[in-house]
Amino acid sequence: MVLLAAAVCTKSGKALVSRQFVEMTKSRIEGLLAAFPKLMTGGRQHTFVETESVRYVYQPLDRLYMLLITTRASNILEDLETLRLFSRVIPEYCRNMEESEILENSFHLIFAFDEIVALGYRESVNLAQIRTFVEMDSHEEKVYRAVRETQEREARTKMKEKAKELQRKRYEENKRGIKSPGLSGGNSGGFGRSGGFEGFGGGSGGFTPSEPITATTQESRPAPMKASGPNRAMKLGSKAKDVDSFVDQLKSEGERVVSATEPVSKMQPVSTPQVDVEPVHIVMAEDLVVRAGRDGGLQTMEVQGILKLRITDSDHGFIKVQVDNTDTRPIQLQTHPNVDRDLWRSCGQIGMKMSNKPFPPNTDVGVLKWRFQTTDESQVPLSINCWPQENGAGGCDVNIEYTLENTEMELNEVTITIPLASGAPPPVINDCEGEHEYDRAHCSLVWRIPVIDKTAPTAAMDFTARGVPDNFFPVRVSFHSSRIYCNLKVLGVVSTSDGAPVVHSMETHMKTNVYEID
């Protein structure tokens, strides 16, 4: 099918949200939408209507329509299936089918539409995947916000306690006949409720900052103010100290805390090195899924990869990308429907099927996908061996080690998480190569290794913890790499007009999606 546009419109043809997937002028799409109500006739029970040039496929949504505009040559069954998916997306972001609700969530709907259709062709996605792609959820941001809010909340509590303590101390001093030097401890002049200096200005009774405060001056001050004054003054002097003490307390409990003075970007793991982006930028990315048994054996391993093009200069839209596949494993490769398959099969080049059409500019276009699936244990990049042994004292002696099976790879920010028995005390670490941390909140032991490569392909950790062997599974692993798993390479980019080389930039990265030892 070739999908020209998708729109949510009223029964009069007014477009509330419209997304075009091929090149169309604004007047053209407005004319097509305006013509749609005129084609509707009473008593029709079809969900589509055709003209000489296009086909309208629609579904009523209360007082609105979910409308798809396709070519007449498209498959009507595929059109209806796509329409059902579009119609299911609307309630995900709109509580009711009202114009105001549609307009309020228009950007979310457009993002979701873009996940369903690319360059006029339906993507193989379901509703759950669309929801995940649009949310773009960040676990690191959630952790940062939670820690920051906890710090601020505890700091405010401590400020109130300090303010009450100061008030109580001043009250006791007044009962004994001792006048307190002032709200700010004598370091600076106190501010009255109206914002001016009270008791310190005007006439011969005033003083300059260089003069000492005498007893007469202190006694001439007004009565102590309400607690609102000390609260404001205490925040100036004790916030940093209180927050620091709370941070130290979090660290002592095994929490990882980044200072609030550091920028947020420092908390986010560096997934790929920064590169200088050229007008033609290529990204090769892979997701890795591994599930293995605790007693050995690989249950499943799957690698899913994609090659994306981003062209920021429209003058470089007419290009071909030369890809070299030297992998001897059975990797499944699939090009985008708009890519010339004959060109790809004959010489491994990626170019547009219609030679007079350029690659779309200023958007990430996935042009090649690949998939590799195996149960061969030797193909796993990193093997984990966790061996818990009951020690007869209500606990286990656990030995866990990793081995880099593919020594050509370099794995960065490796994290191995071992669950512990619920309510168990912190484990006793006997030996560890790398960094370890007890995560009290999730009742687990986290083993971190910054880099695993051929210079240090294996390491082990030995610890003792309460529980039975089943408590220490599943072991979860996460890492990323600047090198992809499959042996695919981009050899170059050339112009389709004269075959001249085109300057391009390249970015490759691989990360784990699921990596578990059950």
pLDDT at 256: 56
Helix (H) or strand (E) holding 81: helix 76-93
Mean pLDDT of the chain: 79
Q: Average pLDDT, stretch 45-66?
A: 83
pLDDT in tens, 426-460: 999 999 988 999 998 889 999 999 999 999 899 99
Report for 14-23, 164-173, 184-193, 318-327: range of highest mean pLDDT:
318-327
The position carrying tokens 């059902």 is: 84
Helix (H) or strand (E) holding 80: helix 76-93
Q: Which residues contact 39 (CB under 8 A, 6 or more apart)?
A: 49, 51, 56
pLDDT in tens, 382-410: 999 999 999 888 899 999 999 999 888 99
| Residue-range domains of the chain with CATH | 3-135 (3.30.450.60), 138-175+227-268 (no CATH), 280-378+485-517 (2.60.40.1170), 382-481 (2.60.40.1170)
Q: Average pLDDT, stretch 153-174?
A: 84
Q: Which residues contact 349 (CB under 8 A, 6 or more apart)?
A: 320, 321, 322, 323, 343
pLDDT at 259: 52
pLDDT in tens, 40-49: 766 566 788 8
Q: Does residue 87 have a pLDDT over 50?
A: yes
User: What is the number of residues in the chain?
Assistant: 518
The position carrying tokens 């001439």 is: 220
Q: Does residue 233 have a pLDDT over 50?
A: no
Decide: 466 and 424 in contact? Cβ < 8 Å: yes
pLDDT tier, 251 (very low <50, low <70, confident <90, very high otherwise): low
Cα 111 to chain centroid distance, Å, stands at 16
Tokens (6 digits) for 280: 């033609």
Taken in order 480, 486, 488, 489, is the CA torsion positive or negative?
Answer: positive
Share of the chain above pLDDT 90, in %: 35
pLDDT higher for 481 or 245?
481
> 374 in helix, strand or coil?
strand
In this structure, which long-range contacts are made by residues 175-184, counting pairs with CB atoms below 8 Å and at least 24 apart in sequence?
A: 179/215, 179/218, 179/219, 180/224, 181/213, 181/218, 182/218, 182/221, 183/224, 183/225, 183/229, 183/230, 183/233, 184/233
Tokens (6 digits) for 110: 């457009």
Decide: 334 and 370 in contact? Cβ < 8 Å: yes
Report for 84-93, 136-145, 168-177, 498-507: range of highest mean pLDDT:
498-507
